[in-house]
A and B are shown apart, each in its own frame.
Chain A
Amino acid sequence: MVSLRAIGSFIPERLIDNLGLKDRFGVSEDFIRDKIGVVTRPVMAPGWDTADLATASIKALVEKEGLDLATVDCLVVCTQNPEGRGLPHTSAIVHGRLGLDEGCAAFDISLGCSGYVYGAALIQSFMEANGLERGLFVTADPYSKVVSPDDKNTALLFGDAATASLFDAADDASRPAWRVTRARLGTIGREWAALAVDAEGVLHMNGREIFNFAAVKVPVEIEHLLREADLTLGAIDLVLLHQASKYMVDTLQKRLKLPPHKVPFEAGAVGNTVSSTIPLLLERRLADPKLSRLLLSGFGVGLSIASCILERKAA
Chain B
Amino acid sequence: MTPQEILSELRSVLDDLAPGVKLDEAHLDTRLSEVGYDSLDLANFLLAIDEKYGVKISDDEAVELGTLRGYSRHIAEKTA
**B interface residues, how many (CB within 8 angstroms):** 10
Are B40 and A212 in contact (CB-based, < 8 A)? no
Which label, helix, strand, loop or mixed, suits the secondary structure of the B interface?
helix
Q: Which of A168-219 contact B (CB under 8 A)?
A: 207-208, 211-212, 215-216
A251 contacts partner chain B, Cβ-Cβ < 8 Å: yes
Contact-size category for A: 10 to 19
A residues within 8 A CB of B50? 212
A35 adjacent to B38 (CB under 8 Å)? yes
- Is B5 on the interface with A (CB-CB < 8 A)? no
Q: Is B43 an interface residue (CB 8 A)?
A: yes
What separation, in Å, do the CA atoms of A162 and B64 have in the docked complex? 43
In contact, A212 and B47 (Cβ under 8 angstroms): yes
B46 contacts the other chain (CB 8 A): yes
- Say whether B79 faces chain A, with CB atoms less than 8 Å apart: no
Residue in chain A with minimal CB distance to B18? A35
A208 — which chain B residues lie within 8 A by C-beta?
A: 43, 46, 59
Interface residues of B in 13-55 (CB under 8 A from A): 38-40, 43-44, 46-47, 50-51
Determine if A216 and B43 form an interchain contact, defined as CB atoms under 8 angstroms apart. no
A247, CB-defined interface residue at 8 Å = yes
A145 CB to nearest B CB, Å? 26
Chain A residue at minimal CB-CB distance from B44 = A251
Q: How distant is the Cα of A35 from the Cα of B51 in the complex, in angstroms? A: 22
Q: Which residues of chain A are within 8 angstroms of B39 by Cβ–Cβ distance?
A: 207
**Assembled-state Cα–Cα distance A13/B47 (Å):** 38
Q: Taking the nearest CB of chain B, how far is it from the CB of A256, in angstroms?
A: 15
For A211, give its contact among B38, B43, B59 (CB under 8 Å): B43
Chain A residues in the interface with B (C-beta under 8 A): 27, 31, 35, 207-208, 211-212, 215-216, 245, 247, 251
- Contacts from B to A (Cβ < 8 Å): 38-40, 43-44, 46-47, 50-51, 59
Give me 7 other A-B pairs in contact (C-beta within 8 A), A211-B44, A215-B44, A245-B40 excluded.
Answer: A35-B38, A207-B39, A208-B43, A211-B40, A211-B43, A211-B47, A212-B50
